[in-house]
Amino acid sequence: MFNLLKTAVLMAAITALFMAIGALIGGRAGMMVALVIALGMNFFSYWFSDKLVLRMYNAREVDASSAPQFYAMVQELAQKAGLPMPRVYIIDEQAPNAFATGRNPQHAAVAATTGIMRVLSARELRGVMAHELAHVKHRDILISTVSATMAGAISMLANSAMFFGGRDSEGRTTNPIVGLLVMLLAPLAASLIQMAISRAREFEADRGGAEISGDPRALASALEKIHAYARGIPLAAAERHPETAQMMIMNPLRGGGLRGLFSTHPATEERVERLLAMAQ
């Protein structure tokens, strides 16, 4: 129930942001158009955003015959977690990472890169997939997928504010600086909404993943390895679609500055520390 409330608050906050940008672009008429777009995007995000995200990453679905060991690992963990078997995907990327998506446990999918399967031991990979299944069990996946889709849409709408200018409530053209500010600040506001939810969610998924796998040390070791490798190997799809970065087990975006300041992931050191405390 709490996660359903969080989803509703997230959708309401992003819808309000949509309407504010629409009002700046086209006055009252722009606000109403933005409301219709936001409602349509919310509907689309609920039903189809998981397919969109998997397509962004060129994820390919696998089964017991095409990836027997990996599929069997996910199947065993899903049974331990009391979850329906999710769809399983592999992403052909050297950067080590993984994520879960879908609107509920009955329509969930988990994905891992070939890079993470290469650098982690079977025990560590098991901890990572347990973490992703904890997201499914906690029903985080709808929140993360919806916020990723909507944040991308807000960025596009904000860019249009720069090119088409802005109008006040009477329909008069406003200062072009307003359009520039909207283009810069609206995506930042969307990121802040994502960040407010994502950091606490990662800690909970770490805890849940450690409980599902029964091996918090393995997940802690996996996080340390992913952190070390991910800094030097870019994840091209995440760089093209930074709004999806918060879905990953580790932030895949390079660079510091605002990206580091507003990271949707908590510090790896703190995550590892909490997992090792569980192990003791």
Choice among 93, 132, 202, 243 that is catalytic: 132
Of 176, 147, 158, give the one whose Cα is nearest residue 244.
Answer: 147
Rounded to 10 deg, the angle between the 216-230 and 268-279 helix axes is: 160
Of 73, 84, 143, give the one whose Cα is nearest residue 108.
Answer: 84
Q: What is the phi/psi pair of residue 91, to 5°?
A: -110, 125
Torsion (CA) 21, 50, 196, 230 in degrees, nearest 10: -110
Active site includes 132? yes
**H or E element: which one contains 194?**
helix 176-213
Whole-number Å distance between alpha carbons of 165 and 27:
11
Instruction: Give catalytic residues, as residue numbers.
Output: 132
